[in-house]
Structure 1
């Protein structure tokens, strides 16, 4: 069809009887409308791309993903796709094979990187004569010596334990008792270890429980628990009164570094200097198969990437499947940190799609503003809002607080945003009226549990949000008109936020 137009093709109909010319011309018009001057595929438009999305195809992928998760049963005793497992390895193979089957539309690559992962097998904390129910070992905590119980008196650390001088000399051979504050839990554990403590307990500054991560391991980290403020209050009073509180800490855990892999697929066509990028994470937690978290996002990307091949694009589209998200956004952090400045600037925006089909869903939009984030984040937020409103659907804003893979992008000057349907948060009565479901329950009652299987994904929410993802891709693949130009790349830390989370874990 290249080089032909309607008039030249009409000329070829000269000998065709009038009886057939009209229907042939009608068909010709249809063909030409479907042909963009850049090639034999139409330029992507949002309605056409959305029309290809189907619930049946999404769930066909979901069933396949669950079968892959079952390959980890021999090692873990249940289905999982946690990094390092057979289930995750096969997930990566599945995504890569599907992308390869799409021919030369994409250039795909893998990015291997070292990932720190930890697992706690058993733990127990005894404070005086009580065994507090709220005691929770921190993620990436080392084990107690010999993976056996250790004994020592609690020593109350000064202030919030954010400086070496807060840790007294008498802490050597004892257990540090540290108030939650402005610095990371890992910093507190490191200072406690340097001061000679055999374990540490970080207690909350409010009555709630406290579960977090120590982050990147250091040689000085000690076995560390989180504790609710409610359970800590009477202990603090005793220590301040000069009473001795003897304690027992026990953690059987492992912290290992393994290699895992990100998968990147980018359209061959389109302006390679101006890319729209979107991502989801390929891994689950160790406790379950992760079909909603984040099989739903991973498969949404795969579905959109598959149908995008029916169209041409003016701007390149880059899909990413991150590994190690559940261990602390490891894959996306590594990817962005490894980008040279000139490559960073080619990414016009990043869109994060994590948990697209929670059973007790709400349509959630990250409340990303240009005031607090790279310019363009707010325009992306408004694109989602406008789409929901155009469909007559309710939506709600949620904090842009570092809990998913957008974090590294916005911290390094790349506009970002995304949508979700909720994790362990509690649905309100107002949200029940807006979205249905049940107030007072988690948005995803199977969040990070064994029951996060195929039956845990809401078909309506998943379909709607996959159509919205298709809309976001089609919009920017066709044009960045009206979207802010990229600002000069900022050094890491310029957009540093006062966030409590890095991924699913509290960090301070």
Structure 2
């Protein structure tokens, strides 16, 4: 079998192309009459086992090792061998079912970066929470730079916030109002040799500078707690001699969305679901979002045994960790006609966090495209019918559903938690450890095969199967789509490329 990248050369990948969904005449008299049974929720769920999911997770981790040569550890970040291997795995698995699915790809370019080494010393200490920003440039000559720490006024978004002493110094900037990239650029224009952004609420801080600027300087994030002693000393007029070092590279890479759509079913009424195929550069991403990627792949592999009445469209997005790039690009390329064929979009990201809670996006029709609440209720009804607790989480644009709801497509999804803190009440509901992150290995090297709760993953994979089957059978009672107008709250969410908060 030809591999994905032998079919699509890297030079071809560098040029963006829109997916063209072929028309399929299900009434074609030449088409063979199917003898398959109509899909049912129970039948599709019965294919899902923790054993098979774990087997796929182990294979994905081996693929992530292909990123080791470049990054020094397993990763599936876009542009890495691990992500290219992930795309090949998805494509080769789907190609076995080319008689059942239309398989298409959509290429686009994205900016990625790699930080090889970094150190930050403020005074005689190195803040424990210090992390280099994604897409940060290196320090000058990839060497250590020295200068006093200077406190920037307000949030460092305007040139007037930077005192004259910023030149030749390391700028200390409060998070908020403008993007991290804007802060780094303003610091660079003011002559800073590096920048440190500190959090405006408890906890550590990491993020991206997004599109490179010639004015960007090497930029770190630190926690609010770590910043407090320095803020006090600077306000008291003390001098804090500091140093910064980042060895990094920022570059453009080509990457790919993969989409598989059933040839059967009503092609004008599609249920769509997606997960992102990439990880962060810091680790292999087996929970985030290997669990979503593999759940979709497992279900797609079993759906072929059944007929559907509405088309089912699976998507594996690239560049989610760089700011929802793949899903944003996909939706931006849809014509109004193609947009209206998507009756709803379901997002599946992080389905097996070790310290999990069963989380449902609180998608309400009043502030989102009509139909989002009906999807939300499908999830909660499933948990309730199985005697399981659930909790609502904000539908705030943090994952790949955002472009869909902003373009009039009902959306929703489930998750099991990322860096949030589990409460004592949630321990009563789900078990686990109060005060710990839902995923203690979120965006870290330890997000490997040992970092998945198989019991939660199996439950959620069955729920994903149920969501697919329910809408593949019928949209009866589900609101019809008549417009691509956006009913979502008109807020500029933080999680896209220009303002990504990871």
TM-score class, shorter-chain normalisation, is: 0.7 to 0.9
**Partner residue, 2:28:** none
The reply to whether residue 89 of structure 1 matches residue 111 of structure 2 is: no
**Partner residue, 2:127:** 132
Range 374-383 or range 72-81, more displaced: 72-81
The reply to whether residue 352 of structure 1 matches residue 347 of structure 2 is: yes
**Partner residue, 1:468:** 463
**Partner residue, 1:497:** 491
Match of 2:217 among 212, 216, 222: 222
Q: Distance in 2 between matches of 1:379 and 1:471?
A: 14
Change (3 A) 1:446 1:507: closer
| Contact 1:191/1:220, CA 8 A, preserved across alignment | yes
Q: Secondary structure at the match of 1:120?
A: strand
Pairs within 5 Å for 1:23-42: 39-42=34-37
Q: Distance in 2 between matches of 1:441 and 1:205?
A: 21
Pairwise CA RMSD of aligned residues?
A: 2.6
**Partner residue, 1:441:** 436
Q: Deviations over 1:91-146 (max 9, x none)?
A: 21111111111131110011121121112222222334443333322121111111
**Partner residue, 1:488:** 483
Tell me how far 1:460 sits from its aligned partner. 1.8
Q: Secondary structure at the match of 1:58?
A: helix
Q: Distance in 1 between matches of 2:237 and 2:451?
A: 52
Q: Distance in 2 between matches of 1:279 and 1:67?
A: 23
**Partner residue, 1:322:** 317
Q: Secondary structure at the match of 1:84?
A: coil
| Contact 1:215/1:507, CA 8 A, preserved across alignment | no
Pairs within 5 Å for 1:58-73: 58-73=53-68
The reply to whether residue 209 of structure 1 matches residue 235 of structure 2 is: no
- Count of paired positions: 470
| Contact 2:71/2:114, CA 8 A, preserved across alignment | no
Pairs within 5 Å for 1:132-281: 132-281=127-276
Change (3 A) 1:400 1:248: same
Tell me how far 1:417 sits from its aligned partner. 0.9
Q: Distance in 2 between matches of 1:204 and 1:289?
A: 26
| Contact 2:324/2:495, CA 8 A, preserved across alignment | no
Range 473-482 or range 76-85, more displaced: 76-85
Gaps of 5+ in 1: 1-36
| Contact 1:184/1:507, CA 8 A, preserved across alignment | no
Tell me how far 1:301 sits from its aligned partner. 0.6
**Partner residue, 1:15:** none
Tell me how far 1:319 sits from its aligned partner. 0.3
Match of 1:285 among 280, 303, 307: 280
Change (3 A) 1:228 1:386: same
TM-score, length-scaled by structure 2: 0.86
**Partner residue, 2:104:** 109
Gaps of 5+ in 2: 1-31
**Partner residue, 1:27:** none
TM-score, length-scaled by structure 1: 0.85
**Partner residue, 2:95:** 100
Q: Distance in 1 between matches of 2:99 and 2:488?
A: 38
Change (3 A) 1:186 1:396: same
Q: Deviations over 1:298-341 (max 9, x none)?
A: 11111111221222222211101112222322222222222233
Q: Distance in 1 between matches of 2:469 and 2:397?
A: 26
Change (3 A) 1:52 1:501: same
The reply to whether residue 426 of structure 1 matches residue 421 of structure 2 is: yes
Tell me how far 1:388 sits from its aligned partner. 0.8
Match of 1:367 among 362, 374, 384: 362
Match of 2:402 among 395, 404, 407: 407
| Contact 1:177/1:202, CA 8 A, preserved across alignment | yes
Q: Secondary structure at the match of 2:99?
A: helix
Tell me how far 1:207 sits from its aligned partner. 4.9
Q: Distance in 1 between matches of 2:444 and 2:128?
A: 20
Q: Distance in 2 between matches of 1:455 and 1:154?
A: 41
**Partner residue, 2:19:** none
Range 461-470 or range 395-404, more displaced: 395-404
Range 177-186 or range 139-148, more displaced: 177-186
